[in-house]
Structures are given as structure tokens and as C-alpha cells.
Amino acid sequence: MPSLLSAISLSKQYHFELLHKMSLLRLAYLHLRMDQPLQALDLVREIAPFLLSHADMSNQGYCYYILSLCYLAQEAPDFDQAEVFLAKAIHCRPFLDCQSSDPTLYV
């Protein structure tokens, strides 16, 4: 955590915008891990427009991933359950002929 906060501070000081926003996205992920989805969602909503217009595709995907985890974490009792549900939803969709017997994947 101290190294992340140092990266956020230095990237802001030296005007490395992309690095600063990606560090904030990582901080949002840590907020999720600490069961603070509202703080994480606020951070992601603040930095998403910049990342979606300036970052490469993998970082844009990571931004969408964290954003979807924020929404799921608000609905799920704990973060780990939300992350597992999202991973199943991404990798197991009905049109991909998934062999899962879990009916919640198709809702």
C-alpha cells in the first residue's frame, strides 16, 4: 500500500497522467478488496473517462472489469463472491456452449 500511494503522489507531481489514473484504478481495486465498494465506484467513475479515451485496450478492459466488480460488490455479500460470479459470467456464456449446471450463470 505505501508503494501505491507513493506512485500516485509521484505520478501526479510529475504529470504522468496515465500512470496516475492507472494507480488510482489499482487503489479502487484495493478498496474493493477491503469491502468498500462505494469508494471504489467513486474512484472508477472519476477516472474512467480519461482511461477509456487515452489508455490502450487492455487497460480499458481492466477499467471495465473493476467497474463491473464495483457494481457486483454492491449486490453480493462479499467481494470474493462477486469476483467469482463475474469470472463465471465472462468465461461461461450460453452462446459459447458452456457445460455448467449453475442456473445463475444464465440470468
pLDDT of residue 3 exceeding 70, the answer is: yes
Cβ-based neighbours of 84, under 8 Å, separated by 6 or more: none
pLDDT value, residue 9: 94
CB–CB of 69/82 below 8 Å? yes
pLDDT value, residue 100: 47
User: Could you tell me the three cell numbers for 8?
Assistant: 500516485
Predicted model pTM: 0.73
Domain boundaries, the chain: 2-106
* Secondary structure letter of residue 80 according to DSSP: H
Higher pLDDT, 46 or 78: 46
DSSP of 2-41: HHHHHHHHHHHHTT-HHHHHHHHHHHHHHHHHTT-HHHHH
**What tens digit of pLDDT does each residue of 10-68 get?**
999 999 999 999 999 999 999 999 989 899 999 999 999 999 999 999 999 999 999 88
Average of per-residue pLDDT across 85-104? 53
